[in-house]
Structure 1
Amino acid sequence: MRHGTENTPRTAAVAAVAAGDDRGQWLTLPGCKRVLVVVHTEVYGRRLGDLLPLLTADLRLQVYFTIAPHAFNAGAARAVPGPLPDGSVLPWEQALRMRFDLVLAAGSQGVHGLRGPLLRLPHGAGHMKLSRLADGRDPGAARTVGGLGRRYLVRDGRVVPRALALAHHDDLARLRRICPEALPVAEVVGDATYDRIVTSLPLRPRYRAALGVRRGQKLVVVSSTWGTGSAFNRLDALLPRLLTELPAAEYRIAVLVHPNVWSWHGIWQVRSWLATAERRGIAVVPPDTDWRSLIIAADWVLGDHGSVTLYSTLTQAAVLLARFPADDVDPASPGAELAVLAPALTPSDALPEQLAYARAARPATGYDRIARRISSEPGRAGRNTRRLMYRLLGLGEPAREPSLPVVPLPAALWDTGRNQVPA
């Protein structure tokens, strides 16, 4: 398991900072405030990446990155901006010895050892999942809501984050119930992923064309989170059905696998498991692809209890549940509500009929109500989060409106030969 970048070359600037010398004769901009972005996993890193545009073009800031210890950090480097290895990442051990003016993290492991005001952010939608049954950090403890329980927020009787960013006001009520001592540092800012998806919805035709979905074709996205309760454990039965029952000329099928699966089992192994389906025309989406373009482009999302399924309620896609382990989901979460409203795939009925049913039933499913439970600050995550970050930094905000970019165009999953991306 790789915790840092000890075996990669470092830029002179990073080497100097790691040695404690970042104010000497070599600097062009001395005296910058130090911001550390802590990347535990690829998923966590990409969530933090949504916020980086809020810190760009400010000559008062120097942003550093580090890869923190985590069971799934094998793919974390893919979430660090820029080509790697280029020496731009502080080794974890060096980051622990330095002092920062702001630390951004979406995970909890090891962050208590960092020096500087910590801003903790959510790493998924809706705080759906319950903590694991076996957790080495707190053995024997009762299960709690992932990311909000004491095991994630308190260390040696002290609340670790200086600020805890939440997406929805409902999260405050849950926090009051399971970790009330963290309430004073909690602040509802909204959800940057929510905002980027909504802003990008008008680009749906461009995403479909870029992926290689031809006019008149339908796109089915099969999404799986990680773990034993995920849809991945049913793919051996589901993918052959999709290939057999859905005409290839009419349907495009893509499989979106959680980066933690790729990280733990390895890229070769996951592709090996899915090789037969891929040879027969199902696209296996690479782990570094921005999944948001897929669900915006989709006509159906066949998912589970992962965040991708919940975010799909913001799009035009009809959601069907291929798997939903209710015992692993907080019953008060929007994901649990979605499981009651969304149709569930059945093994006995024909897939085209189930897809048609889900499409016809979509207007009555209450997706809008579920979507409102993801963020109580729609369109304002950039504004609210930047305000919070600069408050922690002790700086005035830049005199420009904060903005989050639209989701980028994806690389083609299918070669149509003549399919062009509209201007």
Structure 2
Amino acid sequence: MLNNPVFVSIILMLILCIFRCNVMLSIIISALVAGVMAGIMPDGESFNIAKSLIQTLSIFIEGMKGNLETALSYILLGVLAAAISYTNLTTILINKISKFITKSKIYFVVAIAIISCFSQNLVPVHIAFIPILIPPLLGIMNKMQIDRRMVACALTFGLQTPYISIPVGFGLLFFSILKKEMANNGLIVEISKIASIMWMAAIPMIIGLILAIIIFKKPKIYKDIDQNTPQNLDDIKMGIKEWGALIGIIVAFIIQICFKSLPLGALLGIVAMIICGGISYKKMDLVFDKGIHIMGFIAFVMLVAAGYGAILRETGGINELVNTVASLAGGKFGGAVLMLIIGLFITIGIGSSFGTIPIITAIYYPLALKLGFSTEAIILLIGIAAAVGDAGSPASDSTLGPTSGLNFDGKHNHIYGTCIPTFVFFNIPLIIFGAIFAMIL
């Protein structure tokens, strides 16, 4: 086991990530180590470390092509999110719903969760809405004595649940990566097949949100401080920018639904925004720069993750690792739990469920086959194993986003206020129900 290049490489990647080494650098270093340990060389040549590194890097770069569409989707969605952030659409939404969500804590938290869900599919702005939506609501939350840990759970629920269960927006992106990586390892399935299975992942997420509301329903007092909040919401109206952005959002949504292409939907949405005034022609470069800043790093993580998956397959160490893990699993249920826990650690380490898929699929598909899981169970296990750990990871957008809004006045802690609560209420149910569902399918 200790000589297995796949095992050593993954452990090394986890250790580097735990010690806060840059995620991209951690993946690249781990891939090179795997290649050298496996003795990857050009055909017909004897082993040489320098040549092995060069050949490994060559295969790594070739493997990165597998996620080019995904990376482009991220960049274009980032531009879409940036364009929306330059308008008052989100602020106007606050004004429309504020009277309804302040009736009770439950109304408030459920409304926040729903709005957060929309940010992943209906209006795919990802976490860009949080710094706009949450700070103006902190005063209301303080008056209602709402525990911000409950709101953190609601935001993380909305950021994660849609993409693991609904094939729209970021969910279509997640499902597309699942489809592509499973095909790379021999399992050919359609998006519709994945969608017919992955909706089950929403069940433990909903249960986790309900438990968080119950546990954190007790009043918690926060001291109000002066803060630079936006102008009076009643003074903000729909203008050319807002209508243009709204048209772009509608176009992006319709195109991705009709053509099952997120990059095309995002691209045409951006074009529609430019034509209709949602994006000022003179400020186009500024919007694109901000969009790349929002999503660029994640896009590159996706690229290097695909390259890493290619290296893991090339090493030839997967079969040995599969046989070892299968013998330790003690049966199907133990294997399911083990796969989900390993996925948890990988995703917590790199901070991206999307980046985890190429890494684990190369190992999990043959392992699940050996343990006797059905195709449906394999889809569910890989999907949930990639998703589990997104909540609770200090490096994940699903936790960094909520903290950026809730800590606007310095009264919310990232680890104790966001990471630990979301870890407990979402990861634990995902592992329990994921294993149970895999046994049933």
TM-score range, shorter chain: under 0.3
Normalized per residue, the structure richer in strand is 1
Q: Which has the higher contact order (CA 8 A, sep 6+)?
A: 2
Q: TM-score, normalised by structure 2?
A: 0.23
Q: TM-score, normalised by structure 1?
A: 0.23
